[in-house]
Each structure stands twice: as structure tokens, then as C-alpha cells.
Structure 1
Amino acid sequence: MTVLIPVSGKLAERYGDKALFTLAISAFMLISVACGFAHNAPALIALRFIQGLAGALMAPVGRLIVLRSAAKHELVEAMALVILLAMIAPVIGPFLGGVIVTWLDWRWLFWVNAPLCLLALALISRFLPATAGDRSVRLDKTGSALTGLGFTCLVYGLVALGEVGHSPLQVGVAVAVGVLLIIGYRIHAGRVRAPVLSLSLLKLYSFRASLFSGSVFRIAVGGLPFLLPVTLQKGYGYSPLYAGMVVLIPAAGGLSMKFFSTRLLRKLGYRNGLALHGLLAGICLTLAGILHPQDAVIIYVLALFGFGWARPRARAPVARGMPLSSAP
């Protein structure tokens, strides 16, 4: 995903939103089916890498379509809905995964994507208008290579840092190479007219603040749908099914927040809303981490629900150039 996400926007401009979105979903579906037929771990890992390439085009291009389709006064609510769905899906995933591995075979974890992708393709064909691509759009190949390899080295180094079996030298080299490649892209981006990632966007205060604070928040909570069910299974003896059911609690909180998000955003403004809900999400997540789920069930459930309730609000989008203290 780190390889293709930076160039996804340029590819959409060159080949058209609908065409690229359709291609990404089709590739994701076919690779998912192939993953279910994998006969060993190396084959599955290779297929998952290709699946990640397709996934890298699905999410950014899908959001780009939303941004281009929604009117300016509808942008906040449209992006809130996109963020809500993106937040709920990985939370529901462990529950569905628990059901599948309990009653079916692990291969169905991948095969279940096929009907969902077919439904998405049918809806795209029926409702999404085609946009003509502009073949004159130039792709920054050097910048794409620098960002793709740089982010890949950084991700590999950071993942290896938390795993047993990797030497400090191996981790250090991967991170150092990643940093050098990103520095190289910074120099390259200042010399070309249309870099793959426009660093000039960082001059916008609202964009810069939402990007960096949102990244910290994402790092802090993005692993919850994976780490929580694993912790419940390995640490407390929960079955995959029951561990997945617990992870549904934040999803319920996030869904209930959808009915209040726009009104609270208009009443509190971005600065106060982001600060209060970010603080609430942090407190609830810390409380859930301290408590033993079997000793304080009610408080544990309320903490997870409160975290889910606050999370989509804490990731609310910031409009281009809008001061953080203002309301839409």
C-alpha cells in the first residue's frame, strides 16, 4: 500500500476515476480468491502484497470520487460518512473473522470478498458517472520510486523493530535508507513542476495540523481492531468468536455518533471538538487498557463504547484553508 498510495491521485487523473476504481476493485477481488487457494505461506504472502497494491488504489481513489462529487456545503458530512464506514469495517472484521474460522474454513476469510466486490462493481457501473482521463497528466516516476521505496523501508524497519529475530543493524539500515530516500524526495519535489506528492499543501495551517495530529491519533488507535482480539484470545482465553464480539462494541459507539457528529461540529467548532473528543477517546482507551475485562465487565464495555463514540469525531476532516477554531 505504501508503494501505490502516493501515485494513486495522479493515476486517477490520467486514466479516470471510475476506470481506475473499477480496475482496483476487480484486481482486489481476483487476488482475494487466489489467496484462498494459496497452498503455503510464501505464496499467501506474495498474493497479499499484490492485494495491497490493489487496496492502495481503492481507498484514495474512492475518497477522491467523494470529494469531487460532493458540494462544498456537503463535504463535511460526506467525509464523516466515509470515515465512519472506514472505521466500522475493520472493527466488524474480527467478529466476522471469528464466525468464519469457528464455523467455516480460514480460506473463506478471502473468498467472502468476492460477492462484496461484485456488489460494489455493480453499484459503480449503475450509479457512478464516468470521468474522462487526461493523458497529458505526467507521472512523476522518479518521485514515485523515491516515495515508494522510502516508505517501504520505513514500514519494514518499524515493523521489524517490534519483532523477534531482527538484528538492530538490520532495523537501523532499513530505517536509515528509508529516511535518506524521503530526504531525497524532498529535494526532488522542489525541482519538478508536478511532484507525486505536493509538499506545498503543508503550508496550509489547517491541513498541516490535521495531518500531523491525525497521524498521531491513527498510530495510537489504528491497531485496536487487530491487537484487541489477539489480546483477548492469547491473554484472557477468549475464543475468536467472543473476542470478535467484544470488538463490535467500539463499532456500536461509532455508529451512534453518526447521528450527532455534524451538529456537534457546528456547535463546538473544529478546535474544541477535536480536542475534547480526542481527549475522551484517549481516556476511554487507557481505561480499557488498565481494566481486566473479566473483573469489570460493565466499565470495560462502557470504555470501549465511549472510545468508539469519540473516535470518528476526533478524526473529523478539516476543510481546506479553514481555521481550526471556526465552524462550517
Structure 2
Amino acid sequence: MENMDSTVLATSLPAIAVDLHQDPIALKLALTSYLLSLAIFIPASGWAADRFGARTVFRSAIVVFTLGSILCGLSSTLPGFVAARMFQGAGGAMMVPVGRLVLFRSVPRDELVQALAYLTIPALLGPILGPPLGGFITTYAHWRWIFWINVPIGLLGVVLATLYIPNIREKTVWPLDILGFILSGVGLSALMFGLTVAGRGFLSPLVTLGLVLGGGVTIAVYVWHAGRAPYPIIDLKLLKVATFRGSVLGGYLFRLGIGALPFLLPLLLQLGLGMTPFQSGCLTFASAAGAMLMKTTAQTILRRFGFRTVLVTNALISSVFLLLYGTFTSTTPLALMFGLLLAGGFFRSLEFTGINAIAYADIDNPTMSRATSFASVAQQLSLSSGVAVGAAVIEFSRVAHGDSVLRVQDFGAAFTVVGLISAVSALVFLRLPRDAGASLTGRPRYDASASATSSADAPEAVPLKPVART
């Protein structure tokens, strides 16, 4: 439901903009406000699951998400729509991380990659069905129905969670870092909202600058606080673990580029190439179809080549596909577009599986909830940043050619920038230990005594006790 909602919305953004009398680029607020809400509330998801039980939190999150969907469907102004999306995001913030946490605590370490792949296969039904469904509803009915279809799915989700999700909780729960929760929430939301509205005229330049600077200062204060708090809500000490650090930092750069894709691609196809929402949706679902094809092969590929090799090589391949999307024009054959989207989805999904799994290769169970929250915050921030960067490049390009009309060239510039940013993530993954993630795939660990290694390859000593490898 959560995955389908975002892809359905992306396909319908141009139509929503017309109905709400807004510039289509202004509707980036509908995407970033949701992602910002995730970034604010996700840090508390691990603590809430430990304190109240995974099933209790998971069911409550589904209810909040469903109510938020109803409010989105009833919205008639941009501020009301953005507020409803933020409320919806509060539910989404607890759904995905808590569900993932249940998996991490239930599956043996050496089966984690395959379990993540199987977990994602049904979740990918959302992105596969979302674009054509959203395009069909928007073209032949009304965009509000894309939110109201979440109601029966949400009710079914509550029933299934009650029957099948165990109420896992920790016996000893670390205290909630209330000051850290406030500092991280205020800092992240102010910074990202300021960057999102910059140059759009929603707020005065002075207020926008105040949001950006205030958010940056608040985040700096949080970093100071996290270094002194015994149980910070976003535990920066986890970055001392080489595999977790590589996943978070490299994943942030990679996802920043990929995060712009759901925003840029439907706008390019509909506003740049003149497709209907239904035609656009029937093309963009190819990425999710490619992702589903990959899931059955992820374990084999990672075992054969290792995490570091796959993450470095695949980051570059995926970035090339982003650059190619920026070359789409009205003369590009539809079959070629579909093939590139399908293949790009395959490689991006392999990268996501590797990034998500390697984060927890050396994290022990007592720390798992904090690691899950931290990684989820970084993931949502990167996606929000991707939308902001993509929109900013389009705005700069429009200003450069001196009018407000969106041109195909504007999207080409945006895809080029985000593609290059994603490619930089390969430099981060290159610094992973040579045997990073060996416990997840059963590959033999690298023997440092057999040959000299560089400081970039040497496994880093960490203060956290690693889980015993099987």
C-alpha cells in the first residue's frame, strides 16, 4: 500500500496540479512533505516497537496511513494537501521500518539477503500496479480515487497484521531521547523544507534562508547532543561500523539520484513528451517489473562477486541508465524506453538489496532497532533530497532559457545532474572492506595475513560486539 501510494501519486501529479491551480513543479511539496514526515517520525519507530510491541505499532501505523489517505482525497488546496500528506507520512514512518525490524530479528544472518529479496517481491506489486493504475484513474475517473483505494487495503492490512505479525518487543527498552527527537525533527524538517521551497516564491527569501540556516544549526546541535547522550535517537556512533557507514553514506548518494526518478520521469513523459497519465503509467511501471525480476537472483550474484564489487559496479551501471533517461525525446521508440526502464529497474533493485543488507552485517540484535531507524532516516532524506535537487535543476534550466515553459531539455539537465550524483556513491562503496558482508552470503572471509591490504580494505575495529557468524 505504501509503495503503491507514492508511485500512483507521481503519475497523477500533473493532473492534481491543474485541479489545484498550481505549477506542476510546485507539487514536489506533495512528495517531499511526505518524505520529511517520514524523516521526522522514523527515528522513534525502533523505540516504539521495542516499547509497545511490533504488532501494536504496525497496526496503528496502518490506521494512521489510511486516515491520511482519506484526508488527501478530500483536500482542495495545496496547503491542505501537503498537510494531509504529512499526516499520512507519520503512519508510513512506522510501517516499513517496524516491518523490516521484525524480519531482521526473525531470520538467521546468513539468510538475510534472500529474506529481504522475498520481502520485497510482494511490496513491488505496488510500484508495478501503481503507475498504470494511477494513470488509468486520473485519465478516466478522478485523481482523488488514487487515495481512497487505500481504505480497503488498509482495513485488510490491520486484519492480516493481527493474525500474522508477532508482537516482538525487547525486555529492556532504552529510554526515548526526547531532546534528540525534537532537535532532529526540527532540524531535518526546517532544512529540507527550506531547500524545497527555495526559488518558488512560497515564502520570502529571508524566511527561506532562515529555515535553511536554522535547520543546519539545529542539526549541528543534535550532533553535539548525540555525542553526549547515552541513548541518542539517531545513534551516530553506529557510523564507526564500516559496513553500516558505507551503506548509509553510499546509499544516501545513490538514492539521491534515484529519488528524483519518480518525480522527473512522469513529468518528462506527460509534460515534455505529451503522453496521457495512463500512457505514462504503462511505461514507468517497467522499472518495478525489472526490480521484481532481479529479486530471485540477488543472493546468487552477491555470493558470486561479493558486496563491494557488486555495489561499486552496479552503482555506475545504474547511473548510466539515469543519464539515458534524460535523452528521451518524442522520437524515441516506446519499445526502447520500456527496455531501458526495465533494465534500469533490475540493476537499481540489485543495488538497493545490497545496500539494505550490508548495513546490518555487523550490527548485533540489541542495537538493531536503532540501526534500522538510523538507516531509514538516511534513506528518506536521500529520496527527499533527490526530489529537491531534480526540481532545482529544472528551475535553473527554465530561468536560463528565459521563460516558464517546461522543455524536454530541462529534464535532460536534471537527469544528468542526479545521475552523476548517484555515480559518486561508487567511491564510497570502494572503501568497504574486501570481505564486507561475507556472513550474509557464505563467502569465505578475506585472510589479511595472506597478502597486504590497503587501509581502505582493512576491516575497521568497532566497539559493537558482532553477531556470531554461522
Q: Which residue of 2 aligns with 1:183?
A: 220
Matched, 1:320 2:361: yes
Matched, 1:74 2:111: yes
Kept in 2: contact 1:249–1:304 (CA 8 A): yes
Which of 70, 80, 86 matches 1:33? 70
Kept in 1: contact 2:62–2:158 (CA 8 A): yes
Q: Which residue of 1 aligns with 2:341?
A: 304
Which of 206, 211, 214 matches 1:169? 206
Mapping for residues 15-164 of structure 1, pairs under 5 Å? 15-83=52-120, 89-90=126-127, 92-132=129-169, 137-161=174-198, 163-164=200-201
Mapping for residues 219-298 of structure 1, pairs under 5 Å? 219-292=256-329, 294-298=331-335
CA shift, 1:166, in A, is 4.7
Unmatched runs of 5 consecutive residues or more in structure 1: none
- In structure 2, give the amino acid aligned to 1:169: L
**CA deviation string 1:5-52 (max 9, x = no partner):** 111111111111110111010111122223323354443332222111
State how far apart, in whole Å, the 2-side matches of 1:33 and 1:220 are. 31
State how far apart, in whole Å, the 2-side matches of 1:250 and 1:48 are. 24
Specify whether residues 86 and 159 from structure 1 end up closer, same or farther in structure 2 by C-alpha distance, changes over 3 A only. Answer: farther
State how far apart, in whole Å, the 1-side matches of 2:101 and 2:327 are. 39
- Please say which of residues 39-48 and 175-184 is displaced more in the overlay: 39-48
Kept in 2: contact 1:38–1:44 (CA 8 A): yes
- Please say which of residues 157-166 and 98-107 is displaced more in the overlay: 157-166
State how far apart, in whole Å, the 1-side matches of 2:44 and 2:156 are. 26
CA shift, 1:128, in A, is 1.4
State how far apart, in whole Å, the 2-side matches of 1:214 and 1:66 are. 20
Kept in 2: contact 1:275–1:314 (CA 8 A): no
Aligned residues between the structures: 328
CA shift, 1:202, in A, is 0.2
Kept in 2: contact 1:233–1:240 (CA 8 A): yes
State how far apart, in whole Å, the 2-side matches of 1:203 and 1:114 are. 43
State how far apart, in whole Å, the 2-side matches of 1:162 and 1:246 are. 31
Matched, 1:2 2:111: no
- In structure 1, give the amino acid aligned to 2:97: P
State how far apart, in whole Å, the 2-side matches of 1:194 and 1:311 are. 34
Specify whether residues 291 and 31 from structure 1 end up closer, same or farther in structure 2 by C-alpha distance, changes over 3 A only. Answer: closer
Partner-residue secondary structure (3-state), 1:300: helix
CA shift, 1:120, in A, is 1.6
Partner-residue secondary structure (3-state), 1:194: coil
Matched, 1:214 2:272: no
TM (norm. structure 2) is 0.65
- In structure 1, give the amino acid aligned to 2:135: G
- Please say which of residues 122-131 and 243-252 is displaced more in the overlay: 122-131
State how far apart, in whole Å, the 2-side matches of 1:78 and 1:203 are. 26
- In structure 2, give the amino acid aligned to 1:320: A
TM (norm. structure 1) is 0.92
Percent identical: 36
**CA deviation string 1:110-166 (max 9, x = no partner):** 111111112222221111122356585421110000000011011102212363555
State how far apart, in whole Å, the 1-side matches of 2:46 and 2:313 are. 33
State how far apart, in whole Å, the 2-side matches of 1:263 and 1:26 are. 38
Kept in 1: contact 2:117–2:296 (CA 8 A): no
Kept in 2: contact 1:232–1:243 (CA 8 A): yes
